[in-house]
């Protein structure tokens, strides 16, 4: 990612003798594009009848139409008209209305002064993944963003983060679209979730548990970064990641700001907690109690774990060898048997160290000390 030294307003030079019709060109281009793609979509629809792959053609036509409407109409119209509407895009000295890519300096300044609310929506957030870049300057920006996010949480700022569910079909589709950029949505999501879980579980950070992170499983429409009364959005283009796309800057009180805020809230209302994804349910058979525990897979075995001073640690160590448990992973109940119990200072220290590293990568926490090894019996009857 190339982060520019300064983010300047990108307004083309104007010829004072230019005819009025020339100013309509930005609006005519998307309309011409729609006509062309509409023609292609129509051909797909008409030719879909005689052959067996008709469903594919119909779906492709619908996708073409939807993508063009979103990318070719909304983006140019917002740029062309937003700057002309009173109360529309921000008109603040030093802050332009649009940026060529993600404006880290502007976003950092907003995080530092956040008063009430921070909202992030993306498939996977590059801003929250310093491991996903080879550029030291970008890595430093991202580390600063994470530090400012933690500081805002400590001040009591409400933080809401939406990421795509890695198990969903839209996540797989988006992964295919950005593979040529060397980006793995699954890997970046893994980094994001470990980081955010580490923040959420940080007992020394005031208000850490008030941060909400949720997963959505619908097709992503926009990437959204909102801080108090300001919001930036980018469209998901098939040929680039959102961080490298043009970002539009709105006041949340503007018509377009209200529209994107409402979109965020609609997706939020249908999402699920990231804790449900990270922490599977464990039901002790014969007792009926259900708990959520950290869980990792290592060397074809499943391990449940807890930190040393957690009340659950005592419960884990009291499980009997051969005792049956029901492990609910992604809503799928599996019958398991306890095959081992270990502590970090036991003879199985190397095994515990390996499992602890696996848990650190998944949960962003290095304090797991108690481990129960499970063997899979089969699906629950």
- Count CB atoms within 10 A of the CB of residue 68: 18
- Helix 185-200 / helix 136-154 crossing angle, nearest 10 deg: 30
- Give the model's confidence band at 364: pLDDT under 50 very low, under 70 low, under 90 confident, else very high: very high
Q: DSSP letters of 262-304?
A: HHHHHHHHT-EEHHHHHS-EEEETTT--EEE-EEEEETTEEEE
Instruction: Please indicate, yes or no, if residue 15 is contained in any of the structural domains.
Output: no
Q: What is the mean pLDDT of residues 349-359?
A: 88
Looking at residue 25, its pLDDT comes to 46
Over residues 134-186, the pLDDT tens digits come to 788 889 999 999 999 999 999 999 999 999 999 999 988 888 877 777 778 88
Looking at residue 13, its pLDDT comes to 43
Instruction: Please indicate, yes or no, if residue 91 is contained in any of the structural domains.
Output: yes
Over residues 100-116, the pLDDT tens digits come to 778 899 999 999 999 99
- Give the model's confidence band at 238: pLDDT under 50 very low, under 70 low, under 90 confident, else very high: low
Instruction: Please indicate, yes or no, if residue 214 is contained in any of the structural domains.
Output: yes
Q: What's this model's pTM, rounded to 2 decimal places?
A: 0.73
Looking at residue 290, its pLDDT comes to 72
Q: Between 235 and 111, where is the model more confident?
A: 111
- Count CB atoms within 10 A of the CB of residue 226: 23
Looking at residue 84, its pLDDT comes to 42
Q: DSSP letters of 60-112?
A: HHHHHHHHHIIIIIIHHHHHHHHTTSTTSB--BTTB-SEESS--HHHHHHHHH
Same domain, 27 and 141: no
- Give the model's confidence band at 212: pLDDT under 50 very low, under 70 low, under 90 confident, else very high: very high
Same domain, 117 and 237: yes
Over residues 3-32, the pLDDT tens digits come to 444 444 444 444 434 333 444 444 454 555
Looking at residue 159, its pLDDT comes to 98
Same domain, 137 and 253: yes
For residue 242, what are the domain limits? 87-275
Same domain, 152 and 249: yes
Instruction: Please indicate, yes or no, if residue 348 is contained in any of the structural domains.
Output: yes
Same domain, 267 and 306: no
Taken in order 313, 315, 320, 324, the sign of the CA dihedral is negative
Instruction: Please indicate, yes or no, if residue 3 is contained in any of the structural domains.
Output: no
Q: What is the mean pLDDT of residues 205-231?
A: 94
Same domain, 347 and 221: no
CA pair distance 47, 26, nearest whole angstrom: 32
Over residues 42-85, the pLDDT tens digits come to 554 555 544 444 444 445 445 545 555 555 545 454 444 444 43
Same domain, 295 and 158: no
- Torsions phi, psi for 154 (to 5 deg): -60, -25
Q: What is the mean pLDDT of residues 277-282?
A: 89
Domain total of the chain = 3
360: domain CATH number is 2.30.110.10
Q: In what order do the strands lie in the sheet with 294-298?
A: 290-292, 281-284, 324-329, 332-343, 368-379, 301-307, 294-298
Over residues 311-345, the pLDDT tens digits come to 777 778 788 899 998 988 777 888 999 999 888 76
Over residues 80-93, the pLDDT tens digits come to 444 443 334 443 43
196: domain CATH number is 3.30.870.10
Looking at residue 4, its pLDDT comes to 42
Separation of CA 294 from chain center:
21
Over residues 304-317, the pLDDT tens digits come to 988 766 677 777 87
- Count CB atoms within 10 A of the CB of residue 32: 10
Looking at residue 152, its pLDDT comes to 98
Q: What is the mean pLDDT of residues 298-309?
A: 82
Same domain, 113 and 222: yes
Over residues 244-269, the pLDDT tens digits come to 677 888 888 888 888 999 999 999 99
Looking at residue 208, its pLDDT comes to 95
Mean pLDDT estimate for the chain: 77
Instruction: Please indicate, yes or no, if residue 76 is contained in any of the structural domains.
Output: no
Domain boundary among 231, 247, 275: 275
CA pair distance 140, 87, nearest whole angstrom: 34
Looking at residue 275, its pLDDT comes to 92
- Give the model's confidence band at 287: pLDDT under 50 very low, under 70 low, under 90 confident, else very high: low
Looking at residue 381, its pLDDT comes to 52
């Amino acid at each position: 990612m190339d982060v520019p030294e300064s983010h300047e307003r990108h307004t083309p030079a104007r010829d004072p003798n230019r005819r009025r019709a020339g100013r309509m060109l930005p609006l005519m281009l998307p309309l011409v594009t729609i006509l062309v793609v509409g023609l292609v979509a129509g051909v797909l629809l008409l030719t879909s009848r005689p052959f067996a792959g008709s469903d594919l053609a119909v779906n492709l036509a619908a996708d073409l139409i939807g993508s063009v409407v979103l990318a070719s109409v909304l983006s140019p119209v917002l740029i062309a008209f937003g700057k002309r509407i009173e109360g529309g895009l921000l008109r603040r000295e030093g802050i332009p209305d649009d940026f060529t890519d993600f404006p880290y300096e502007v976003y950092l300044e907003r995080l530092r002064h956040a008063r009430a609310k921070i909202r992030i929506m993306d498939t996977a957030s590059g801003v929250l993944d310093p491991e996903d870049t080879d550029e030291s300057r970008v890595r430093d920006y991202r580390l600063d963003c994470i530090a400012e996010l933690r500081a805002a949480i400590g001040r009591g700022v409400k933080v809401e983060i939406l990421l795509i569910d890695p198990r969903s079909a839209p996540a797989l589709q988006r992964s295919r679209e950005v593979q040529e950029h060397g980006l793995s949505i699954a890997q970046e999501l893994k980094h994001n979730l470990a980081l955010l879980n580490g923040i959420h579980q940080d007992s020394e950070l005031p208000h850490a548990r008030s941060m909400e992170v949720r997963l959505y499983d619908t097709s992503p429409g926009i990437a959204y970064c909102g801080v108090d009364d300001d919001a930036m959005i980018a469209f998901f283009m098939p040929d680039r990641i959102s961080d490298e796309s043009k970002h539009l800057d709105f006041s949340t009180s503007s018509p377009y700001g209200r529209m994107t805020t409402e979109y965020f809230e609609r997706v939020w209302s249908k999402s699920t907690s990231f804790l449900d994804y990270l922490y599977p349910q464990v039901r002790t058979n014969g007792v009926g109690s259900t708990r959520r525990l950290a869980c990792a897979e290592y060397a074809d075995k499943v391990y449940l774990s807890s930190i040393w001073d957690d009340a659950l640690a005592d419960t884990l160590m009291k499980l009997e060898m051969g005792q049956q448990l029901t492990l609910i992973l992604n809503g799928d109940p599996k019958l398991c048997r306890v095959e081992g119990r270990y502590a970090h200072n036991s003879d199985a220290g190397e095994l515990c160290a390996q499992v602890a590293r696996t848990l650190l990568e998944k949960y962003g926490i290095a304090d797991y000390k108690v481990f129960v090894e499970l063997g899979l019996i089969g699906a629950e009857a």
